[in-house]
């Protein structure tokens, strides 16, 4: 395929997403307009100017639907409404207009694997008898034992605890995640049709695209005799025939979705959250007949290491080329420890993503965190990432260099992983603490009356207000990088220039280069005009753990 040239916001064409910078908003923690401690849609509207100044091309909004918040909103009661605590459909329309007026697109999260247990259909399923059409929309099974008192299988949910829960009449329902998140039966025609209605509902309201939650789980095949957890774990995931994950027929669902996306002009876009292995299996999610793009979480699982980054960049550019899509990059989101903190903790061998677990469990005491090094590395890694071809997904607060909050008291915790994995996992609340907008005041400018998760004292020093006007701040670095990226953006190709083992030197068309020094000592600074640097650069050398953008006369 030809190489599309996409200049970010300037490009109004169907390919706008290919090299977009997408900013993830976790709505309950972004800005609270009515002072009830919970972020809301009018809060986002009030910050449209901030998002435009930051220079993002699109916003991805995590779930804002009515929800009891058993899983941060990923337990949806009604897919075609707004949680009254966050606003109304009218507020949604005002918000999307405010974003569009600033040239910012809107992607919304869609959660098709499961609804909440408060969804009308699940209530109907509980009220209806075994074998009814109402139960067929979910995954019900008879229990084992004489009266069905034993679970149909010994499976564990993703949040810990059993994946099957009894409903009192000998039947059990499947929930791969929390008890409050019953899995849909995607063989049911009503389920399939209803999601198409939902996609049209939001597309008609002007939504530009969808982030598809757990996209690899929808298609399931449950034989009469269910395998045990151990047997399930031993099943090959590369063949597309695993009973629960990444089955080939999931792509029939997305082919239907694609037809809906293509009813619109420009076509609506989608990005799959698909944790698949081997990685080449991502390509079908990312194909033009499917969702069109898929997250690549490799950077979020890697240490700050030149060799690891080089391998990841090379592999993912190849994979993207195979699928015809563009690649995606992400360091942080609402599910993982913020990268400014991850990089300040000692490396954790082949489990880098778990590196913060022990630290979180100890309330931030051990191992010792080097916050300054973490931020220095995060800035260097981000500046390299923003020079790569493909789209960049940023998570709210990373532009402030926010770190993970470790010392959240147990009584304030919200994440189901905390409750379902006692002593093993404290959960994801530490990256969901409300954003500090001002240096002081109640909830640091988040709202007028507290924050639904407690903010630490140090948040004030990292607030937008504290960084505004400081050219060395992380906020300034992100703003400068996004503005320059828009100017320099070019074809989706990359060349490697020769460099030492601790240095990565990439070249884009038009004389845009990025040089990242991952090492502990200085490296030679290649020829060229320094456009931007992740830290102080003086005297012709590239300091340790620093990235620069250069312009050369190509």
Q: Looking at the annotation, which residues are catalytic?
A: 213, 263
- Tokens representing residue 549 in the block: 């953008």
38 binds, among ligand GLC, Ca ion, none (CB under 5 to 8 A by kind): Ca ion
Nearer to ligand GLC, 344 or 430 (CB): 430
Does the protein bind Ca ion through residue 32 (CB under 5 A)? yes
Q: Count how many residues are written for the chain.
A: 554
Distance CA 72, CA 91 (A): 20
Candidates 69-77, 94-102, 140-148, 485-493: pick the segment binding ligand GLC (CB under 6 A). Answer: 69-77
Residues 172-191, interacting with ligand GLC (CB under 6 A) = 177
392 binds, among ligand GLC, Ca ion, none (CB under 5 to 8 A by kind): none
Helix (H) or strand (E) holding 171: strand 171-174
Rounded to the nearest 10°, the torsion over CA 361, 364, 366, 371 is 140
Distance CA 267, CA 165 (A): 40
Candidates 71-79, 244-252, 452-460, 517-525: pick the segment binding ligand GLC (CB under 6 A). Answer: 71-79
Nearer to Ca ion, 32 or 75 (CB): 32
Does the protein bind Ca ion through residue 83 (CB under 5 A)? no
* 260 half-sphere exposure, CB direction, 13 A CA radius: 24
Does the protein bind ligand GLC through residue 111 (CB under 6 A)? yes
Nearer to ligand GLC, 335 or 480 (CB): 335
Picking from 478, 497, 503, 502, the residue whose alpha carbon sits closest to that of residue 552 is 497
Query: Which DSSP letter does residue 458 get?
Result: G
Does the protein bind ligand GLC through residue 213 (CB under 6 A)? yes
* 59 half-sphere exposure, CB direction, 13 A CA radius: 29
* 475 half-sphere exposure, CB direction, 13 A CA radius: 20
Query: Minimum distance between the CB of residue 443 and Ca ion, rounded to whole angstroms?
Result: 11
Nearer to ligand GLC, 71 or 77 (CB): 71
Task: Enumerate the H helices of 455-506 as residue ranges.
Answer: 464-467, 474-488
For the window 325-364, what string marks contact with ligand GLC as x by the rule CB under 6 A?
---------xx-----------------------------
- Tokens representing residue 332 in the block: 């942080």
Per the DSSP assignment, residues forming a β-bridge with 517 are: 503, 546
213 binds, among ligand GLC, Ca ion, none (CB under 5 to 8 A by kind): ligand GLC
Distance CA 228, CA 140 (A): 17
Query: Minimum distance between the CB of residue 484 and ligand GLC, rounded to whole angstroms?
Result: 30
Chain centre distance of CA 291: 16
Nearer to Ca ion, 32 or 513 (CB): 32
Nearer to Ca ion, 33 or 503 (CB): 33
Task: State the residues that interact with ligand GLC by CB under 6 A.
Answer: 71-72, 74, 111, 177, 213-214, 273, 334-335
Residues near Ca ion (CB under 5 A):
32, 34, 36, 38, 40
């Amino acid at each position: 395929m030809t190489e599309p040239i996409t200049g970010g916001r300037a490009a109004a064409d169907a390919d706008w997403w290919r090299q977009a910078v997408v900013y993830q908003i976790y709505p309950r923690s972004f800005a609270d307009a009515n002072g009830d401690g919970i972020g809301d849609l009018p809060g986002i509207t009030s910050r449209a100017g901030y998002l435009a100044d930051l220079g993002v091309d699109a916003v991805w909004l995590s779930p804002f639907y009515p929800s009891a918040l058993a899983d941060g909103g990923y337990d949806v009661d009604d897919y075609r409404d707004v949680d009254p605590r966050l606003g109304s459909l009218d507020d949604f329309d005002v918000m999307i207009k405010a974003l569009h007026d600033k040239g910012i697109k809107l992607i919304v999260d869609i959660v098709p694997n499961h609804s909440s247990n408060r969804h009308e259909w699940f209530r109907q399923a509980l009220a209806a008898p075994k074998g009814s059409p109402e139960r067929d929309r979910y995954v019900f099974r008879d229990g084992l034992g004489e009266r069905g008192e034993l679970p149909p299988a010994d499976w564990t949910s993703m949040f810990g605890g059993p994946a099957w829960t009894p409903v009192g009449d000998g039947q059990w329902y499947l929930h791969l995640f929390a008890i409050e998140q019953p899995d849909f039966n995607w063989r049911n025609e009503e389920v399939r049709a209803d999601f198409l209605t939902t996609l049209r509902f939001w597309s008609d309201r002007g939504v530009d695209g969808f982030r598809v939650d757990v996209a690899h789980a929808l298609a399931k095949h449950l034989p009469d005799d269910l395998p045990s957890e151990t047997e399930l774990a031993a099943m090959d995931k590369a063949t597309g025939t695993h009973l629960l994950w990444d089955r080939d027929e999931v792509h029939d669902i997305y082919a239907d979705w694609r037809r809906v996306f293509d009813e619109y002009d420009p076509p609506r876009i989608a990005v799959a959250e698909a944790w698949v292995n081997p990685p080449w299996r991502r390509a079908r999610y990312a194909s033009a007949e499917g969702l069109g793009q898929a997250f690549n979480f490799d950077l979020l699982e890697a240490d700050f290491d030149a060799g690891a980054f080089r391998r990841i960049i090379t592999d993912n550019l190849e994979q993207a080329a195979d699928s015809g899509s563009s690649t995606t990059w992400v360091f942080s989101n609402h599910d993982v420890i913020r990268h400014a903190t991850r990089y300040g903790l000692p490396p954790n061998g082949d489990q880098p993503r778990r590196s913060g677990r022990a630290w979180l469990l100890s309330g931030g005491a051990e191992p010792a965190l080097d916050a300054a090094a973490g931020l220095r590395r995060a800035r260097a890694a981000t500046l390299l990432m923003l020079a790569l071809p493909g789209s960049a997904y940023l998570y709210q607060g990373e532009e402030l260099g926010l770190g993970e909050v470790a010392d959240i008291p147990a009584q304030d915790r919200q994440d189901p992983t905390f409750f379902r994995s006692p002593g093993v996992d404290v959960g994801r609340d530490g990256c969901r603490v409300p954003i500090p907008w001002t240096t002081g005041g109640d909830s640091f400018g988040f709202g007028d009356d507290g924050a639904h998760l407690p903010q630490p004292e140090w948040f004030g020093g990292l607030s937008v207000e504290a960084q505004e006007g400081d050219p060395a701040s992380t906020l300034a670095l992100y703003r400068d990088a996004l503005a320059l990226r828009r100017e320099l953006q070019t074809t989706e190709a990359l060349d490697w220039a020769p460099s030492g083992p601790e240095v990565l030197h990439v070249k884009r068309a038009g004389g845009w280069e990025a040089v990242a020094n991952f090492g502990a000592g200085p490296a030679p600074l290649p020829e060229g005009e320094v456009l931007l640097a992740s830290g102080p650069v003086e005297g012709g050398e590239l300091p340790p753990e620093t990235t620069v953008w250069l312009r050369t006369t190509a």
